[in-house]
Amino acid sequence: MGIAERKERDKVELKSRILDAARALFLEEGFHKTSMRSIADRIEYSPGILYHYFKDKNEIFHALHIEGFAELGRRMQVLSAVSNPIERLKAMGRIYIGYAIENPDMYDLMFIMQAPLDALPDKSNWDEGENVFNGLRLTISACMKAGHFKDHELESLSFMVWSVVHGMVSLNIRQRCHVLACPDPNQCVDDAYGAFVQIIDRM
């Protein structure tokens, strides 16, 4: 039955063409201008077709947000080469921040917007986020086993570390950093992360 297989290939192909169009529009024009109609326009199909491949708009953006996590995970892989857990933790932060600064819209989709989460069957099952946070948890756990962060609790400390980096980049992405004296947003984040690293180094 080669035909059924070819049909399956066609379906997969159109699905990925839809995602290509959605991704391009999202990165070029932003979330609001990426409408179901504009996606359909770009692939030269009628709007209705999108609903045979995705339940709704949220599901399309959920798929895109998974791509973002795949890329972030890829970047995190270099960390396996860093054996010192404290160095690994610091490098992890730099990678996280680097991804956010280089892909602000993707970061926004992954960690700020509601859309991708609304496509989740069960809200407490955000696997993509869980993977990233687990990486952080493991690294901080290794730091503690190596004698750092005495008198701290793993979970709270992990969440606090995540909060520092998320706070910095999300304040930037959502335009709240004009209150800072430093005019260059990237510089602000680098400096503030530097201050955080300095603190970590003394723990």
Partner DNA sequence: TGCAAAATTGAACGCCGTTCAATTATCTTT
Partner DNA sequence: AAAGATAATTGAACGGCGTTCAATTTTGCA
Task: Please give the full DSSP string across 150-189, using - where no structure is assigned.
Answer: TT--HHHHHHHHHHHHHHHHHHHHTT-GGGSS-S-HHHHH
Site for DNA in 37-66 (CB under 7 A): 37-38, 45-49, 51-52, 56-58
Q: Which residue, 11 or 176, has its beta carbon nearer to DNA?
A: 11
Q: Which residue, 19 or 72, has its beta carbon nearer to its own copies?
A: 72
The verdict on 167 binding DNA (CB under 7 A) reads no
Q: Which residue, 53 or 96, has its beta carbon nearer to its own copies?
A: 96
Neighbours of 99 (CB within 10 A): 20
Amino acid present at 54: F
Radius of gyration of the chain, Cα coordinates, nearest whole angstrom = 20
Q: Which residue, 123 or 145, has its beta carbon nearer to its own copies?
A: 123
Q: How far is the CB of 22 from DNA (least distance, A)?
A: 10
Number of residues that bind DNA (CB under 7 A): 24
Question: What is the distance between the alpha carbons of residues 12 and 96, in angstroms, rounded to a whole number?
Answer: 31
Q: How far is the CB of 130 from DNA (least distance, A)?
A: 25
| Residues at the interface with its own copies (CB under 8 A) | 111-114, 117, 123-126, 129-130, 133, 151-153, 155-157, 159-160, 162-168, 170-171, 174-182, 188, 191-196, 198-199, 203
The residues, any chain, with a CB within 8 Å of residue 39's CB and separated by 6 or more, are 18, 21, 22, 25, 50, 60
| Nearest to 22, CA basis, from 131, 112, 109 | 109
**Six token digits for residue 50:** 């999108």
The verdict on 14 binding DNA (CB under 7 A) reads yes
The verdict on 6 binding DNA (CB under 7 A) reads yes
Q: How many residues make up the chain in this entry? A: 203
Q: Which residues bind DNA (CB under 7 A)?
A: 1, 3-4, 6-7, 10-11, 14, 33-38, 45-49, 51-52, 56-58
